[in-house]
């Protein structure tokens, strides 16, 4: 049965950008409808991305710890050889996702947001039809927030299906593949490749660039490369993947030679693209910026009262960026004077070891002589040594202006450094100078002391080195 709804705000997409926008709209008293046609409440991040991948990574690290204990002992602890029932691990991961799904649903209900399950198709900028299990619903709105997110890029010669999988399928496997080949050496491929190596899979990585994680400088990625080498992960850099036939992936090496890699599963992680197809974007009259929807610093598109947030709007394609944009748009619609103008959006790779980057990097300031750089190794931090996190080449690095000592960027690599990312972002957002960091009494013993010491070192008087 056909139904027609008129609303103040219509949100398309229930990922971290869309559902946060919905909750904030509801808090501000705006009549809001949220259409969820993708992965479910929470979107890619909650259902098939950030959260489930970190759950699997955590389980893999636990398994690795017990494996070390079984292989001769660690920290005086010995254990029997462990086994992994990946189906049970996946079921545990799914339980976390269901709990978070229910939490998002409850928050939306509390904020009086009407959630409609179905895929929208726009006929013009403010009107769409949603096909639901109970029939079509036509929705017209005064404001539209586009938050359709992104999807994995598929290679034409490695179509998803069967043993060629995306990160989505990798997170739902019921057993550890004997041989896993990862196509793409970015953060998604490395996070999952490392996790499956810890779980016992033989892993090979095929990357077109000459090194892994090419968006980060070599100093940050070297500890990851050393871990991969130490743990027998096969690296094929400067190489191109080809077709997958009869359990073998065809590869062209850096030198142009042909190579075949045996694989039970081929995980393709060559990037993500904005989800712009299949919902009538072409009928909305919004300007594009390449493959992305073009927005200004209010997240406004070229069409009046049509807004866009999250991966649809371009890099960095990070969940926390989408959430922040969603809040800004809700507040603008409610009449607040807001802009989306962050000093930094910190990024984390949950590799082994972890990588954090906020603000400018050495690559951004190459050739400049007005920048101070200082590095402090984690091996000089007591807490890091007590966590077995000080012997992998990890460090914290600060970049600051020589003239006024204002922080320009902070990076770190090492175990557990993801938990430092918010401190880095906060200091940059507040416009801190080196003296602000050095003058803040950091708790001992913690990993965060390395940030303090790196700032002291930039000022020429580090204590513990």
**Could you read off the pLDDT of 353-377 as tens digits, one per residue?**
999 999 999 999 999 999 999 999 9
360-385 core/surface letters (b: 16 or more CB in 10 A; e: else) = bbbeebeeeeebbebbbbbbbbebbe
pLDDT at 313: 98
Decide if 397 is inside a domain.
Answer: yes
What distance in Å separates the CA atoms of residue 144 and residue 22, rounded to the nearest whole number?
A: 11
* E-assigned strand segments in 185-247: 202-207, 234-237, 240-245
pLDDT at 190: 98
Decide if 131 is inside a domain.
Answer: yes
The string of pLDDT tens digits covering residues 8-36 is 999 999 999 999 999 999 999 999 999 99
- CA proximity to 397, closest of 388, 409, 415: 409
| DSSP type of residue 417 | G
Per the structure, the count of domains in the chain is: 3
Say if residues 398 and 451 touch (Cβ distance below 8 Å).
Answer: yes
Q: Which residues are catalytic?
A: 444
pLDDT at 2: 76
Contacts of 419 (CB under 8 A, 6+ apart): 447
Cα separation values, 384 from 281, 391, 451, 457, Å = 49, 9, 13, 18
Quickly count: other Cβ atoms within 10 Å of residue 449's Cβ.
22
pLDDT at 31: 98
The whole-angstrom distance between residue 65's C-alpha and the CA centroid of its chain comes to 25
Say if residues 427 and 436 touch (Cβ distance below 8 Å).
Answer: yes
Say if residues 336 and 325 touch (Cβ distance below 8 Å).
Answer: no
pLDDT tops 90 at residue 390: no
Contacts of 239 (CB under 8 A, 6+ apart): 206, 207, 208, 251, 252, 253, 254, 259
The string of pLDDT tens digits covering residues 141-162 is 999 999 999 999 999 999 999 9
If asked whether residues 201 and 127 sit together in one domain, one would say: no
pLDDT tops 90 at residue 420: yes
The string of pLDDT tens digits covering residues 219-277 is 999 999 999 999 999 999 999 999 999 999 999 999 999 999 999 999 999 999 999 99
pLDDT tops 80 at residue 1: no
Containing structural domain, residue 188 = 164-270
Decide if 339 is inside a domain.
Answer: no
Lookup: tokens for 183: 């196509």
Cα separation values, 155 from 177, 193, 214, 386, Å = 21, 19, 20, 44
Instruction: Give the CATH number for residue 114.
Output: 3.50.50.60
pLDDT over 90, % of the chain:
97
If asked whether residues 351 and 397 sit together in one domain, one would say: yes
If asked whether residues 304 and 450 sit together in one domain, one would say: no
If asked whether residues 443 and 351 sit together in one domain, one would say: yes
pLDDT band at 394 (very low <50, low <70, confident <90, very high): very high
pLDDT band at 73 (very low <50, low <70, confident <90, very high): confident
What distance in Å separates the CA atoms of residue 113 and residue 21, rounded to the nearest whole number?
A: 10
If asked whether residues 39 and 184 sit together in one domain, one would say: no
If asked whether residues 41 and 115 sit together in one domain, one would say: yes
Decide if 235 is inside a domain.
Answer: yes
């Amino acid at each position: 049965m056909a139904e027609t709804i008129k609303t103040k705000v219509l949100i398309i997409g229930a990922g971290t950008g869309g559902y946060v926008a919905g909750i904030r709209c509801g808090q501000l008293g705006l009549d809001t409808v949220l259409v969820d046609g993708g992965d479910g409440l929470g979107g890619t991040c909650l259902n098939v991305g950030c959260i489930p991948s970190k759950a699997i990574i955590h389980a893999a690290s636990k398994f690795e710890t017990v494996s070390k204990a079984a292989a001769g002992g660690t920290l005086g602890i010995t254990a029997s050889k462990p086994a992994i029932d990946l189906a049970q691990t996946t079921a545990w991961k799914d339980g976390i996702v269901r709990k978070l799904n229910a939490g998002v649903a409850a928050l939306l209900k509390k904020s009086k947001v009407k959630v409609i399950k179905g895929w929208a198709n726009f006929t013009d900028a403010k009107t769409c039809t949603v096909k639901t299990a109970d029939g079509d619903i036509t929705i017209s709105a005064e404001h539209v927030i586009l938050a359709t997110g992104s999807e994995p890029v598929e290679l034409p010669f490695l179509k998803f299906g069967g043993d060629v999988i995306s990160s989505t399928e990798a997170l739902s496997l019921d057993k550890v593949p004997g041989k896993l080949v990862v196509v793409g050496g970015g953060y998604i491929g490395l996070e999952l490749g490392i996790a499956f190596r810890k779980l016992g899979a033989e892993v090979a990585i095929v990357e077109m660039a000459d090194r892994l994680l090419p968006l980060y400088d070599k100093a940050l990625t070297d500890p990851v490369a050393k871990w991969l080498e130490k743990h027998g992960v096969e690296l094929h850099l400067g190489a191109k993947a080809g077709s997958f036939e009869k359990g073998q992936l065809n590869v062209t090496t850096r030198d142009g030679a042909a190579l075949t890699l045996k694989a039970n599963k081929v995980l393709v992680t060559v990037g993500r693209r904005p989800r712009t197809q299949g919902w009538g974007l072409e009928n909305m009259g919004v300007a594009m910026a390449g493959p992305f929807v073009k927005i200004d610093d209010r997240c406004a598109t070229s069409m009046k009262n049509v807004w866009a947030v999250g991966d649809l709007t371009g890099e960095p394609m990070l969940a926390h960026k989408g959430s922040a944009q969603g809040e800004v748009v809700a507040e603008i619609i409610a009449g607040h004077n807001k802009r989306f103008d962050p000093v930094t959006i910190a990024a984390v790779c949950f590799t082994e070891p972890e990588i954090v980057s906020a603000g400018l990097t050495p690559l951004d300031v190459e050739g400049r002589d007005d920048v101070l750089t200082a590095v402090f190794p984690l091996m000089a931090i007591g807490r890091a040594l007590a966590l077995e996190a000080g012997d992998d080449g990890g460090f914290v690095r600060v970049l600051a202006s020589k003239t006024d000592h204002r922080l320009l960027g902070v990076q770190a690599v090492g175990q557990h450094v993801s938990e430092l990312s918010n401190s880095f972002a906060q200091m940059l957002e507040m416009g801190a100078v080196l003296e602000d960091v050095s003058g803040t009494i950091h708790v001992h013993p913690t990993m965060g002391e390395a940030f303090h010491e790196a700032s002291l070192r930039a000022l020429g008087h580090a204590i513990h080195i």
